[in-house]
């Protein structure tokens, strides 16, 4: 018990989690998830699916959300580094449309907890990155919504280094802005 440190963000529900890492000359050990520790931190959920993706530098995925089957997500990076973003889409929320971003990397081992009804996306900053996430609902085909990554009404400050070419899927280039979502 007590093997994680939890930071809150300016948006209720979002949490940055840093696990305790036990290392010596051989390497390290850490628990990436322990139900009782997370429940004590207010994340008392049943995760039903784990996903993993690999991407190269400049890949920007998102901003995605689920329409009918929203998911809580616990995300982390096991190789490389990404800038991870969550946008509050909860109806009636005082922080609706606000975003928070965090650097997740294999080195810092941080995790980002993103509750239901948030849009999510990330930008790969390293040459490659492997991204893993736990979800509280199963994948449902045709249930994905999205918001364009550079919506000026949200104003995500993506840390895009000079000269970086963004690689964005055709689907992610066609999403509308947050204002279109309200219609």
Whether residue 1 has pLDDT greater than 60:
no
Predicted pLDDT of residue 74: 98
Local confidence band at 182 (pLDDT 50, 70, 90 cut-offs) = low
Active-site hit among 65, 100, 120, 133: 133
Is 65 known to be catalytic?
no
Over the chain, what is the mean pLDDT? 95
Q: What is the pLDDT of residues 25-66, one digit of tens each?
A: 999 999 999 999 999 999 999 999 999 999 999 999 999 999
Enter the pTM of the model: 0.95
62: closest CA among 22, 13, 112, 3?
A: 112
Cβ atoms of residues 127 and 37 within 8 Å: no
CB 146 within 8 A of CB 67: no
The CATH number given to 4-181 is 2.60.120.10
Copy the structure tokens of residue 79.
């190789």
List 33, 34, 64, 96, catalytic entry: 64
Q: Count Cα neighbours of 137 within 13 Å in the Cβ-side half-sphere.
A: 16
Summarised one tens digit per residue, pLDDT across range 153-163 is 999 999 999 99
In which band, very low, low, confident or very high, does the pLDDT at 2 lie, cut at 50, 70 and 90? low
Domain ranges of the chain: 4-181
Tell me the per-residue pLDDT of 72-94, one tens digit each, with 9 for 90 and over. 999 999 999 999 999 999 999 99
Q: Is 133 marked active-site? A: yes
How far apart are the C-alpha atoms of 98 and 86, rounded to whole Å?
Answer: 8
Measured distance CA(6)–CA(135) in Å, rounded: 19
């Amino acid at each position: 018990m007590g093997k994680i440190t939890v930071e809150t963000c300016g948006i209720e529900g979002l949490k940055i989690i840093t696990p305790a890492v036990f290392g010596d000359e051989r390497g390290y050990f850490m628990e990436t998830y322990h139900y009782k520790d997370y429940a004590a931190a207010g994340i008392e959920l049943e995760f039903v699916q784990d996903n993993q993706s690999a991407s190269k530098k400049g890949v920007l995925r998102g901003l995605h959300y689920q329409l009918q089957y929203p998911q809580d997500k616990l995300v982390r990076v096991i190789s490389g580094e990404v800038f991870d973003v969550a946008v509050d889409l909860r109806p009636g929320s005082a922080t609706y449309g606000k975003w928070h971003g965090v650097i997740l990397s294999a080195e810092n081992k941080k995790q980002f907890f993103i509750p239901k009804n948030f849009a999510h996306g990330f930008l790969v900053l390293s040459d490659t990155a492997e991204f893993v996430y736990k979800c509280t609902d199963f994948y449902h085909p045709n249930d994905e919504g999205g918001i364009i990554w550079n919506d000026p009404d949200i104003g995500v400050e993506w840390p895009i280094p000079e000269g970086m070419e963004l690689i964005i899927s055709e689907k992610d280039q066609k999403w509308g802005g947050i204002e279109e979502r309200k219609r």
